[in-house]
Structures are given as structure tokens and as C-alpha cells.
A and B are shown apart, each in its own frame.
Chain A
Amino acid sequence: MLKKRIIPCLDIKDGRVVKGVNFVELRDAGDPVESAKEYNDLGADELVFLDITATKEKRKTLAKLVEKVAAQVFIPLTVGGGIRTVEDMQFILRAGADKVSINSAAVKNPDLVREGALKFGSQCIVGAVDAAKRDSGAGWEIFVHGGSKETGIDLIEWVKELEKLGAGEILLTSINSDGTKDGFDLEMLKAVTDAVNIPVIASGGAGSIQHFIDVFKKTGADAALAASIFHFGEIAIRDVKSELVKAEIPVRIEKRK
């Protein structure tokens, strides 16, 4: 049986790991290569790097960073941030990333997802989506540009579209929950995991081990992502996993002979 994945996310700014609350107030949280190595040793199932300041000039810096991490860390690596063209994807994948995540660029140009999936395979394309509850309370709307710009596009329509275009996975961040440590947005996640047949990574709101148990018990999420609670050592991945096992949620823990 496939295991539920625990994924630390490293937000990268100018080559450093940072973490903000509700997409602002960035705090420095360390060297990405060292963080990646440590997470690998601690039992992270996968890593996500999001370059939150990615620009064309900085693309090379990011690729170098990916290359360094990929030489030392042998678990799946997803890289996102400012990927706008198939060439951008190729550049990052060639540097050693296993998947690229596309967010605003997919909204602006949905064909990018299709072209990426055709060229590199769906498994390489992660559709990253930032969404928030509509003011009216009826459903959710997606936001672009780091969660700052509303689009009017319905979340459920969009994730279905991403699946159709060939995205292999959805990385869903709840803007309402992100940084709050009040728990994952279970209602939103349930709606999305019910709507698509591709794996969904839950993001935004993890603050305790119980939140991880809840997200796997109450939604169809395949993976849970968190940043600050792991970076600042508030919760150890190992403890999350051993509690998940007790709650009968399948996770990757090796049984030594």
C-alpha cells in the first residue's frame, strides 16, 4: 500500500530558507542544502522548494541550489517559483529536480501545464494552487502571485481543469489557514480530493501532530506539507510519523531486520 507522505516545504529567498505568516513577514530559517540533508535524515518523504523571489536572473542561482541538493539528498524534490515556460521547466528538471510546481503561470497560460506534461510526463508537473474561501461563503476562489491577487476562478473548476491538462499532482494551499497553525483546511481539502483523481498535497495550517492525523483521517489528501513547524523544530517529522502509525495511517517507517 502507498504511504501517506510528510513533506517539509522550504521557501527560498535569495538562496536562504524563509518562512512567512500569511505570505508576509518573512523570517530566515537556514541554509537550504543543510536543511534538505537534515530532513532526509529525519524521515521526510519528499521535499518541496519554492523560490518566492524567482526572477529570470535568479533562475541560475536556483538551478545551482537544486543541483547541490540533488547531489546529497536522494528523495523526491519538487521545485517551484516563477516557472513560466517549458524551457524554465527543463532547466530546473535538468538541474536535478523531479517535479516542477506551476502556480500563477498555469492560470495565465493553462497550455503550459499541457505542454509540460506532454514533454516531461504528468508525474513531473505539480499544479500548485492557492485558494481562499469566497466572502459569500460559497466555495473557494484561487489567488495568484503568492496569494496576493484574486482571480475570480472557482477552486473546484480549476483543479479539475489542472487534472485534465495533465498535472500529476495538486499542491493545495489554503490562504485562510496558511501560517495560522490552527490546522489544515479540511473542508477545502475534502472538496478538492473528492473532485480529482490525482494526488493532493495538503498545505497551510499545520500546527500540531493532531492536525496531520486529522488531514489524513478526514480528507483524501495523499500528503501533508508544512514549513515553519518543521524548520523551527516545533514538531519532529519522526514524531508525526509514529503518531500517524498509532492512528493506523500508513506512513514510511523502516522495520530493521
Chain B
Amino acid sequence: MIAIIDYGAGNLKSIQKALEFVGEETVILEEGKNADLDKYAGLVLPGVGAFPGAMKRLKENNFVDFIEKFVVTGRPFLGVCLGMQLLFEWGFEDQKTAGLSLLKGNVIKMETDYKIPHMGWNQLEIIKNDPLFNGLPENPHFYFVHSYQLAEVTDEVLATVGYGTTVPAVIKKDNVIAFQFHPEKSGDNGIKLLENFRELL
């Protein structure tokens, strides 16, 4: 069973339905304090919205400790979109805010001549192969919606997309995985990727 963290940051239903579609049971967690982490084979941090408010609500609902403890178990932990951005050290949306620091780097406003947000289908450049990409087409398309990004292509970045600037799109360090795009909105490719994530459970 995969637990999905609900911290009031928008649409959880899509990621939940997509995980169920690939055959995984899901549960929505609204509070981290008394949650029994041994019950969950995987954990997902979704989310849309702004970095500072999201961190505040994660703290208020006692998810910061819960996530840290979960990651120590070595079981797969996935952050998606804003949930991905929160995994890094610092966010610079509206005000400088400390993130969860599970992955290296900072999250900054995109600097590009193109329209912001970066919204729509874009094609991955895979820079490090990984079982996560098994069965996907060459340069697969995924659906993005964001205005902030990981600032640098760190050694933990597996894939990027180009949008007048290089945008890290898939980041992985051991059992911590992060997608800047929305796999739950990326049609067949998104479903394939979630199946591959499920393989890690």
C-alpha cells in the first residue's frame, strides 16, 4: 500500500487514481503524528501551490518527522511537482524557506524567455539511465506545470527538459525519487513510470 500525504495542497485524487490504475492500494494521510509508517510500502508527496505555505502545513500536520523516518527505512519515497521541490534544501518562492533537505540543491524561479508557468507537454533528455525509464519511448513526453525549478543539474539528476533553460525533471538518490512533471497527467508514459515506481516497492 502507498500512502499519499494530504497537506491541503490541491489535487490528490489524480495521483491516487493513477496509482490505483496501476494496481496499487492507496491511503490518504492527513496527519503524520500517529501514522504507522510500517504499514506503507511507499510514500508519495504530491502537491501544487506555493513552497512556503506547503512547508508550513507539512510542519503543522507533523509530516516532516514522518517523512524523515520513512526515508530511513529505505522504502521508496516519491515527490511530485511541488512535492518534488520540497525535497530540496531551500526554496526561493516568495521568501527563502527551508525545504526537507532530502536532496541536494535549491529551488528558484525559472529564468527563461518562454512563458511562465512552464505548462504543457515537454520531452525528457535522459542523462543517466535507470530502471525507472524501462519501457518508455525515446525522449518520452511528460506533462509539466510549474514556475520554479531545481537550480542546478546535480549529480542526482537523471533527466532534464529544455525550456529556454535546462530544467531538472527526474531526480533520484537511493530511495528518494522526484518528478518535476505530473506522471498522473502524462497519459501512457505517466502510467508506465508509476508502474516502474511500483516495481521498487
Contacts and interface: CB of A to CB of B under 8 A. Distances in A.
Interface of A: 1-3, 5, 40, 45, 67, 70-72, 74-76, 93-98, 120-124, 168-169, 197-199, 222-223, 252, 254-257
Interface residues of B, number: 39
A222 B145 CA distance: 14
B77 to A, nearest CB: 22
Contact of B14 (A70, A199, A252): A70
Contact of B49 (A97, A121, A254): A121
A248 to B, nearest CB: 16
Given A168-B117, A255-B137, A255-B138, A70 B122 contact: no
Contact of B120 (A72, A74, A96, A222): A222
B74 interface: no
Contacts of B17: 70-71, 74, 96
Contacts of A94: 11, 13
A64 B117 CA distance: 29
B120 A5 contact: yes
Given A256-B138, A257-B138, A96 B14 contact: yes
Interface string B114-128: 111111111100000
Interface in B6-27: 10-11, 13-14, 17-18, 20-21
Given A1-B162, A74-B187, A257-B138, 5 more contacts: A74-B18, A74-B190, A98-B14, A123-B119, A199-B119
Given A3-B121, A198-B115, A74 B14 contact: yes
B135 to A, nearest CB: 9
Q: Which of A72, A168, A252, A255: most chain B Cβ within 10 A?
A: A252
B196 interface: no
B109 interface: no
Given A3-B121, A252-B141, A199 B18 contact: no
A166 to B, nearest CB: 12
A19 to B, nearest CB: 24
Contact of B143 (A75, A197, A199, A255): A75
Interface of B: 10-11, 13-14, 17-18, 20-21, 48-50, 114-123, 136-141, 143, 145, 162-163, 184-191
A115 to B, nearest CB: 14
A231 B140 CA distance: 28
Contact of A74 (B49, B145, B163, B186): B186
B63 to A, nearest CB: 20
B10 A124 contact: yes
Contact of A5 (B50, B121, B185): B121
Nearest to B18: A74
A45 B189 CA distance: 12
A198 B13 CA distance: 26
Contacts of B145: 123
A5 B156 CA distance: 31
A24 B12 CA distance: 37
A169 to B, nearest CB: 7
A48 to B, nearest CB: 14
A96 B10 CA distance: 10
A237 B17 CA distance: 26
A139 B118 CA distance: 30
Nearest to A45: B121
Contacts of B163: 1-2
B141 A254 contact: yes
Contacts of A75: 143, 185-187
A2 B117 CA distance: 11
28 contacts: A1-B122, A2-B118, A2-B119, A2-B121, A3-B122, A5-B121, A40-B187, A70-B14, A70-B17, A71-B17, A71-B21, A93-B11, A96-B11, A98-B11, A120-B10, A120-B49, A121-B48, A121-B50, A122-B117, A123-B145, A124-B10, A168-B119, A199-B120, A252-B141, A255-B139, A256-B137, A256-B138, A257-B137
